[in-house]
A and B are shown apart, each in its own frame.
Chain A
Amino acid sequence: MTDASERAIKWSYMDHWRSNGPAGPVDQWHSHRTMSAFLKQVKAVGFDAIDTFDFRIWQMYGDYGGPAKYQEMVQDHGLERIVNTFHAADYDLRSYAPHLPETHDNILGDFRVTMGRWSEIQLDNIIVMPATLYYDMEPITEDKLKHTAELWNKVGEITAGYGVKLTCHHEFFCGIQSEPDIDTFYSYTDPQYVNLFVDTAQHCIAGLDPVALYNKHAHRVSGFHFKDTRHVATGDDHRHRPDSEIMAPTTGKWFYEMGTSQGLVDFAAMMTAVRDNGYTGWISVEHDKANKEGGDYSESTAISRWYAKNVLEEIYR
């Protein structure tokens, strides 16, 4: 591989993982041994770094002595660092809902505390789903989009104070997932404080062309999840109660690794667009729930990185 310092694009692995322990499936946070095995596999296939989840910070403090100490372990395995964290909030209409102004103080307080916890390492992005579940926000009105934008403008100002970009990841089942609503949302947000994080599969499932969406908002994009899907949502898939992500009746598994057969995302076109828009820096690879329906995280991670190396890096590296 070309030396990382010479490449326009570096690859980070979003750290969804399961392996099979003697008592059943475990994630990498199960023990230092399982964490080491995870990091070894990510490094072996040629990833440069990892992304992680905000809620893992408790295990970082409890098992490793904090984010900096955990990042040292990551680096001991030959990976550069932790690039992004995903703030997976528990949205609730009573206390934590971006379209409801009465919950904003609580959310802003959460981010002030959260950014302090991460401040001992330097992240690029903190990623959020910018709206509640679709069924908790509908009908999606312009006022709700405005209130939501106002919140994230303020949150982005907080994260910017820590040198971290606030970036929005639009799940197909969240309140802001259609192209008109995404366009409206970004028209009300401040480009200085609110960025777009393009998840190729989520947009594809929502019926959008992720390449076209990226080209339209390229100046706002601060990162990507490259992952694939074999299905576009139909009917009420995006608003299925109580959950669309793993409980929609139509589809048992929405997400697949980049490089899967029958994938709907045109990654060659995506990578061409990344090149033509002059993007440099990190692309994250993700395949959450890869173990569903007989899948295997190790294999999916190998296949996705094989595709990045042998197909996408031939377009742009």
Chain B
Amino acid sequence: MSGVRWAYAINQWKPQFDDFVRREHHERALKTISIAGFDGVELTAGTGRWEPLGNPQQLAANFGSVAGFGDFVRSCALSAVSSWVWDPAERSMEHLTGPLSPLSADDVPAIVEKARWYAGALAELGGSVLVVPGAPAAGDGDPLDDAALDQLAATWNAVGEAIGQDGVQLALHVDFLSALRHDGALEALLARTDPSVVGLAIDTGELTVAGIDPLALIERHGDRVRHVQLKDALAVDDAREYRQPAAHWTVRVRGGAREVPRWFAEPGADGGLVDFPALTRALLHADYTGWVVVESDQSPHPAASALLSGYLLQRELLPIVEGAAAGAPGDR
């Protein structure tokens, strides 16, 4: 796994739409990520003037150009933007477009066009992975039937092939509200997609909340993994509340019937359910190369979350990786 690079996700610094808009906030966050031992930063897509890091147009508006933002990132001692997380279902104020659905053949051209917008900028910033939700939320539609899975596969094959022209890979993300959580849906979608252009993002926290063992998923589909997001899970949606309409708000944000205060945390948090050393070994075993992005999703103490993650990285995970590279027994 010598080809692994470590990044940290910026999303934890923006709990509300009017937070984290000023240059000095960005500078302090990027420097914090850097000194904690990470090499890159993962961005999350957004729209409008209060999302300075949300898309190529906003980067240009705030940093002069995409390249100007790249200079800014490097001035904070990070080497690259690793990846961009983008949901086509989010409207775009820059394009005056509403939600786009990967389940709609009519939306495919627009999704491809916008994906290339992100991928082109990402490539300029040294990144290599566009992360998209593999399917809409389960509560927002019918269970995925064969026709739906066929369309999803067609959409993502088209997107993956298109952004490949920019040198960027597509990774399908399974969050804990995803329709892909239904039994067999993820396997069926992966079987329908072209492995050369459509990969899988392993998000350890989301999968664990969904009741899916990320270790088992890596064992089954290690060859499809194109991106990894390491975050911890503090609770499991064992009541399967993810099927509720508007679960993004009622379950993810509000915490469902139990009012879970925080589903996710930085790796190694007290009460965390994910075994990160075991995951690192599993990725080694799968010969994974690429970005591993550490995240907390949202944190009441973003800098502390980044530093505690850095400690785990430096003191526990990197020694496993370096031990494997040196051929230490038991590390693979």
Residues of A within 8 A of B (CB): 19-20, 33, 37, 40-41, 43-46, 78, 259, 261, 296, 298-299, 301-303, 305-306, 309-310
14 contacts between A and B (CB under 8 A): A19-B301, A43-B315, A44-B310, A44-B311, A298-B32, A298-B306, A299-B28, A301-B307, A302-B28, A302-B36, A303-B28, A306-B34, A309-B35, A309-B77
Q: Contact between A44 and B301 (Cβ–Cβ < 8 Å)?
A: no
**Complex formed: what's the CA distance from A43 to B76 in Å?**
20
Q: Contact between B311 and A43 (Cβ–Cβ < 8 Å)?
A: yes
Q: Contact between A296 and B311 (Cβ–Cβ < 8 Å)?
A: no
Residues of B within 8 A of A (CB): 24, 28, 31-32, 34-37, 76-77, 270, 300-304, 306-308, 310-311, 314-315
Q: A310: which B residues are within 8 A, CB to CB?
A: 34, 77
Q: Contact between B24 and A261 (Cβ–Cβ < 8 Å)?
A: yes
Contacts A43-B315, A261-B24, A302-B36 aside, 19 further interface pairs with beta carbons under 8 A come to A37-B304, A41-B304, A41-B307, A43-B311, A44-B310, A44-B311, A44-B314, A45-B35, A45-B36, A45-B310, A299-B28, A299-B32, A299-B302, A302-B31, A302-B306, A303-B28, A306-B76, A309-B77, A310-B77
Q: Contact between B300 and A40 (Cβ–Cβ < 8 Å)?
A: no
**Complex formed: what's the CA distance from A302 to B306 in Å?**
10
**Complex formed: what's the CA distance from A121 to B260 in Å?**
46
| Inter-chain residue pair count (beta carbon < 8 A) | 69
Q: B303: which A residues are within 8 A, CB to CB?
A: 296, 298-299, 302
Residue of A nearest to B307 (CB): A41
What are the 3 closest A-B residue pairs judged by CB atoms, nearest first? A299-B303, A44-B310, A298-B303
Q: Contact between A41 and B301 (Cβ–Cβ < 8 Å)?
A: no
Cβ of A97 to closest chain B Cβ, rounded Å:
40
Q: Given A44-B36, A78-B315, is A296 in contact with B301 using a C-beta cutoff of 8 Å?
A: yes
Residue of B nearest to A261 (CB): B24
Residue of A nearest to B34 (CB): A306
Residue of A nearest to B310 (CB): A44
Q: A301: which B residues are within 8 A, CB to CB?
A: 307
Q: B34: which A residues are within 8 A, CB to CB?
A: 306, 310
Cβ of B31 to closest chain A Cβ, rounded Å:
4
Cβ of A78 to closest chain B Cβ, rounded Å:
6
Q: B32: which A residues are within 8 A, CB to CB?
A: 298-299, 302-303, 306
**Complex formed: what's the CA distance from A259 to B35 in Å?**
13
Cβ of B23 to closest chain A Cβ, rounded Å:
10
